[in-house]
Amino acid sequence: MTLLAYNITGSSVTLVAGNPSPVLPPSASPPTRGSGRDVTSELKGLSAADYALLEAQRPNTIEYEWSGDVEFSLGSLISDAISAHVPSTHASTHATGNTDPLTVASAVAGNQTTIATNQSAAATNQSAVTGVTAGDAAATNQDATATNMGATAVNNDLAFAGSVHLVNPSGASTGTVVSPVTPADGPLIIAGQPDYPRKLQIRIVDGDSSISAGRLDLIGIGLDGADLAQGILLTGGTATVVTDDVYAVLSSATLVNVAGVLGPDSIAIGVGNALGLPIPVGATNVAVHKVTLLGAGAPVDEAVGAGVDTTARSIVPTSVPDGVNDYNFFFSYTVVPTQVVHNHVQDAHNHTQDAHNHGLSDGGHTHVQNTHTHGQNTHNHTQDAHVHNTSG
């Protein structure tokens, strides 16, 4: 199907990525959509980093929409109607010191009660005189039709707590993952990987701010197995840039559109001080409650500090990693599992008495019956409370 892009501003907009980069006409009355532009061929097959740049440009500027079924993945780029067509993924990571979080969805079925109503038939005394035939009282079948009762499942928040022990995480570095090289278009040689899932830091050396263009595209895998992508601009002079996410693996690092490199300019990649915590993506209410430092002496509890990134699920401890200290981190978080809305249903049915007669057999006298009631005991139709579970 066709991928359409709409400009919702009053000026023409050129997309930051594309093959080639399309230009969208302005909207006649912002922030309503301008004329839709078919960008299917220009955006098909771009890198994850390009889609990440397009997503960074999108808010309050551009809206994307598929005309029907999704033809290809747009990575992190958000478009209308795409969430209904792209399946979610789940992958776990088993690394030293990590924990595997369990996601459980619960729906407790409510008991559905049908109370039977007692049906009374009071016997009438029948007098039989000579020549008179005794009367019959025929019981009428009483139907009780069960009504189907719907029980809609409600998603409940689930709270989890955990801890992780990290042994001697290395100190922050600027060249342990990619050694310093002169910036030029093409892939960089990855010399090593992070010792633990942690944020990376990119060291750009440009003392005279000569670099006028260029971008470093990072592709990797997060601490929970999710695909990661980030584009980092090279302009602005000498700087150390820390990644937004925690990388368990850096798969590739590629320089594109580099210009203005002079003399001693260089770029390198190392590990930062932010250590990843084994918390699933999408978790809320992330909190670190305790940090224990295990150095040469007795264990010491230290302040958690302000280094907790609840989105990246990482922490920069007060005593930063140095390759000597061990750490114990104690944390908690909340997840909201989902399940398909459904109903618990009983088939309609009847409660029936066989037809029968209360009769008198002869005349000349009165046959007397005590007044009485034909009744059913009040009872319930009940399902035991139960749980529908899913795990991941």
Residue with tokens 């009780």: 144
91 confidence band (pLDDT: 50, 70, 90): very low
Which of the listed ranges 6-10, 74-78, 87-91, 152-156 does the model predict with the highest average pLDDT?
6-10
Instruction: Look up residue 6 and give its two tokens.
Output: 């709409």
User: Which class for 367: exposed (0-12), middle (13-18), buried (19 or more C-beta within 10 A)?
Assistant: middle
Helix (H, G, I), strand (E, B) or coil at 66: strand
Answer whether 57's CB lies under 8 Å from 24's CB.
Answer: no
Kindly report the pTM of this predicted structure.
0.50
At residue 370, what is the residue type? Answer: N
297 confidence band (pLDDT: 50, 70, 90): confident
pLDDT at 329 > cutoff 80: yes
Residue 254 DSSP label: E
Sign of CA dihedral 280, 281, 286, 291: positive
For residue 157, the model assigns a pLDDT of 86
216 confidence band (pLDDT: 50, 70, 90): very high
Give the span between the Cα atoms of 15 and 21, in whole angstroms: 5
pLDDT at 4 > cutoff 50: yes
Give the span between the Cα atoms of 65 and 68, in whole angstroms: 9
For residue 166, the model assigns a pLDDT of 96
Answer whether 291's CB lies under 8 Å from 327's CB.
Answer: yes
Q: What is the pLDDT of residues 178-191, one digit of tens each?
A: 999 999 999 999 99
